[in-house]
Chains A and B, each alone.
Chain A
Amino acid sequence: MSHSSDHPANLAHHFTEVEQQQESAKLGMWLFLLTEILLFGGLFCFYAIFRAWNPDIFHNAHFHLDVVMGTLNTVVLITSSVTMALAIRSLQLDQKRAALWFLWSTLILAGIFLVVKYFEYAHKFHLGQLPGKYYTFQGIEGTNPHIFFSVYFLMTGLHGIHVIAGMSIIGWLIVKTSRNRFSSQYYTPVEMTGLYWHLVDLIWIFLFPMFYLIG
């Protein structure tokens, strides 16, 4: 294809069409998500080994997590996944106002998630339910109860960092959307952020029962 006037503004020269460009970006994003799965995989393995070695500790310690707060955060994160998906859908339909509204909703829900997480963390800091040598809580029977909280803080902490990263990217998307940078012809950054955000949700879907429900 020559550099004719109908060449879309957002199409890089090394791609023949928008479709191809978008799918290349998506493949790159999925490969990144693959590395994310393996990054969390190390901690899932950590959890599996130490739970198999210390089933009683995990069972006793998991009663000290607040199921209500955990459930609330699950609902918040699932809802934010819906709003993120709807933000992409709105851009696909060239509905900028709706897209902005859904992006803001996603950002605020992510903020609520972190606020709930903050209250949970603060409570555990207060009680001394902390990882490793910082553990001072006396209320759990068994040897080495702090292992549970080491896994808990590492996994929810890494997940929390991903939520913060997602929030900053969504904030950037809000700025770009309000400046009319996205349309039904070009919304790749929003779609890629959506994939990332759904993966963050997907990981929480596993963390929630692993820690709050079965320990």
Chain B
Amino acid sequence: MKVTDSMTAKHHPHVLPLGTYLIIGSLLLALTAITVYISLFDFGSMNLIVAMAVAATKATLVALYFMHLKYDKKIFSIVFVGALIFLAIFIIFTMLDTLRRDDINPIRIKTISPNAVIYQDKPVADSTDTAGQSGVTDSLTVDSAVTDQSSH
């Protein structure tokens, strides 16, 4: 930008070449095809990791080129990455709780609503529990009630 431009406050946009958008768009479509193709094979627990790795690659391309983060001031990238860091803290710390609850209170899958329409024709999987046995009134699916009172 020339000195005279800032004097007259004339704005010169930073324009990316047309080819950049077309190449990034094509890469995104190619990665979509790849992730769909990969999903036809079963890698067990790697399914999630592979699919999320491809999605993260696509997301990075969108953020860097379509959202201009590569060319803009770093402050915008800091805001974006900051949001992702807090999102990661949110999810990881919540899962540290929910994944380890079983160590203290055995978790059994229980039907949420035994009177729901889908259970009309077949017996409910388990309805031996009654409410209020443990202090934990847990959420939807998981009943963490300790049925054996003597275990304490």
Contact = CB atoms under 8 A, between A and B. Distances in A.
Given A33-B80, A41-B87, A136 B11 contact: no
A214 B48 contact: yes
Interface string A34-68: 10011001001100111011100000000000010
Nearest to B16: A89
Given A209-B54, A214-B51, A27 B79 contact: yes
A71 B15 CA distance: 31
Contacts of B48: 214
Q: How large is the interface on A (under 10, 10 to 19, 20 to 34, 35 or more residues)?
A: 35 or more
A213 B36 contact: yes
B141 A50 contact: yes
Given A53-B141, A67-B36, A213-B35, A8 B9 contact: yes
Interface in B94-130: 94-95, 98-99, 107, 109-113, 116-118, 121, 125
B141 A133 contact: no
Interface of A: 1, 6-8, 11, 16-19, 22-23, 26-27, 30-31, 33-34, 37-38, 41, 44-45, 48-50, 52-54, 67, 71, 74-75, 78-79, 81-82, 84-86, 89, 92-93, 128, 132-133, 135-138, 143-144, 146-147, 184-187, 194-195, 198-199, 201-202, 205-206, 208-210, 213-214
5 contacts: A19-B6, A41-B91, A85-B21, A86-B21, A213-B39
